Amino acid sequence: MTLRTTLTLTGAVLGAGIVLAPAGSAAPVPDDGINRADPMTSYVMERDGRTHAQATSYLAAKDRKQTSLRGLEAKGVDVDGAWFDGTQLVVGVDSTADADAVRAAGLRPSTSVTQSSLDKVAQAVMRRAGAAQHVVTVGPNLQKGTVEVRIAEDAPASLRQRLAAMDRVSVTTADELTTQADVYPGRIMDLSPGTNCSLGYPGRTSSGNNVLLTAGHCVEGLPDILDANGTHIGKGTHTRFRTGYSSVDMGLMDIDSEDTGRPYVDSRGHSGYYSVAGASKNAVGSEICKAGNTTGWTCGTIKAYNRTVNYGGTVVSGLAEASVCTEGGDSGGAYIGVGNLAQGMTSGGPVGVECGYNQGYNAGSYSFYQPVVDAASYYGVRIDTAN
């Protein structure tokens, strides 16, 4: 199916991301600026009107449940999606044995709503829509147990009726989308020649190469990469993004040998630096913040995984969606979640959004990001951590 171009890839600004340090220097750990609290604490305090102690307790409770979930996965439980209902973690499963294991861990199993069952509905939506040019995004909403379809405001009524008649499908209208291009995760990443993204997450390949995971559209064409001072810091080497074709928005940059990626997310002056403890796909409903050059520190919650979107005729699959505001130049920038766990790199969002700067949850809107776990797995990269 051909999705309508209504999402924006943002490719011309500074970046938010991991710190790069010259070789031979001590690790430039920003000791005076490291915020050792969970990066979501101030967000939850502001959003919910909680005290620091209340916010910490709330986040700790959710983190414990996600730790239990990771323990179940390690034991071989086949987790088919996970989402928060308040502070209760619901886990999609497909067998009685797995449901029993989930209950024993203090979590709530669901066999009627799962990621795979909604993915199948989403695939049926795309088949029914055919070559419709007015479809903007398609993807599961685990918390509602539906597949959400966004269509353009000028879409024909027959298309809306055809899709809305499907079981477990909701249809709404949406603005056009665009990618949002810009090695401290969150800082500027100049692309030679002439555009910018934000820095993503550094790591190492199995052969020991020092690399940076980023949005694929940021390194389409495999450009040379410069920092804010115009100093060469690396070069794009791999991308799965190809304009005008079905794509995945993940890419890889080689960091120059004299530079080193540092596992601290720069909150762009909002609340210091946050150390990266690992990487995961936190459950739907988890709090999440992102650092980007254009809009700074903005926050929200994870809304969905496996979204398919259209960026100007380039259909991108495998994205996550969050209620986090982004603009052009934020692309590639770091999303970090509860537990200081890396979540992904900015891909795109609605055209014409104004987020302000460092507005936290007040910025509103929504955006899409490439899950870092998927990119790291595909490229065989171990994410750098501060542990």
pLDDT at 2 over 50: no
163 and 119 fall within a common domain: yes
255 with 349, same domain: the answer is yes
Q: Are residues 159 and 283 in the same domain?
A: no
Count Cβ atoms within 10 A of the Cβ of residue 77 and give its class: 0-12 exposed, 13-18 middle, 19 or more buried: buried
Its pTM stands at 0.87
279/368 same-domain check: yes
Q: Is the pLDDT of residue 346 over 50?
A: yes
- Please write the tens of the pLDDT for every residue from 281-318: 999 999 999 998 889 999 999 999 999 998 878 889 99
pLDDT confidence band for 385 (50 / 70 / 90): very high
| Residue 24 within a domain | no
Q: Residue 37: pLDDT band by 50, 70, 90 thresholds?
A: low
Together in a domain, 206 and 270: yes
Do 135 and 153 lie in a common domain?
yes
Confidence class for position 23, pLDDT limits 50, 70, 90: very low
378 occurs within a structural domain: yes
Does 101 reside within a domain? no
Has residue 189 got a pLDDT over 70? no
Are the C-beta atoms of 334 and 200 separated by less than 8 Å? yes
- pLDDT(8) > 80: no
Amino acid 121 reads V
Domain end, chosen from 174, 197, 222, is at 174
- In this structure, the answer to whether residues 207 and 305 fall within a common structural domain is yes
Distance CA 31, CA 25 (A): 15
Where among 174, 193, 218 does a domain terminate? Answer: 174
Does a structural domain hold residue 44? Answer: no
| Least confident segment among 34-43, 263-272, 318-327 | 34-43
- Report whether pLDDT(179) > 50: yes
Q: Which of 42-46, 60-64, 175-179 has the highest mean pLDDT?
A: 60-64
Is residue 134 assigned to a domain?
yes
**Would you say residue 335 has pLDDT above 60?**
yes
Query: Lowest-pLDDT range, 178-192, 249-263, 297-311?
Result: 178-192
pLDDT value of residue 183: 45
pLDDT score, position 288? 96
Domain boundary (148, 174, 200) is at 174
Residues 283 and 190 placed together within one structural domain of the fold: yes
Number of domains in the chain: 2
Q: Which amino acid is at 358?
A: N
Mean pLDDT of all residues belonging to the chain = 86
* Rounded-to-integer distance, Cα 145 and Cα 162, Å: 20
State the average pLDDT over residues 317-343.
93
| Residues designated as active site | 217, 249, 331
**Residue 378 belongs to a domain with what CATH number?**
2.40.10.10
Residues 255 and 360 occupy one common structural domain: yes
Q: Is 92 within the bounds of a domain?
A: no
- Structural domain harbouring 205: 178-383
**Greater pLDDT, 11 or 219:** 219
Q: Contact at 8 Å (CB) between 171 and 134?
A: no
Q: Mark whether 125 and 138 lie in a shared domain.
A: yes
Q: What is the pLDDT of residues 88-124, one digit of tens each?
A: 999 999 999 999 999 999 999 999 999 999 999 999 9
Q: Tell me, yes or no, whether 31 lies in a domain.
A: no
Cα 371 to Cα 21, 109, 129, distances in angstroms: 25, 24, 27
Residues 258 and 212 reside in one and the same domain: yes
Q: Tell whether 249 and 326 lie within a shared domain.
A: yes
Given a cut of 70, is residue 41 above it in pLDDT?
Answer: yes
Model pLDDT, residue 383: 96
| Residue 163 domain flag | yes
How far apart are the C-alpha atoms of 272 and 211, rounded to whole Å?
A: 24
> Residue 288 and residue 223: Cα distance in Å, rounded?
30
In 3-state terms, what secondary structure has residue 215? coil
- What confidence tier does 52 reach under pLDDT thresholds 50, 70, 90? very high
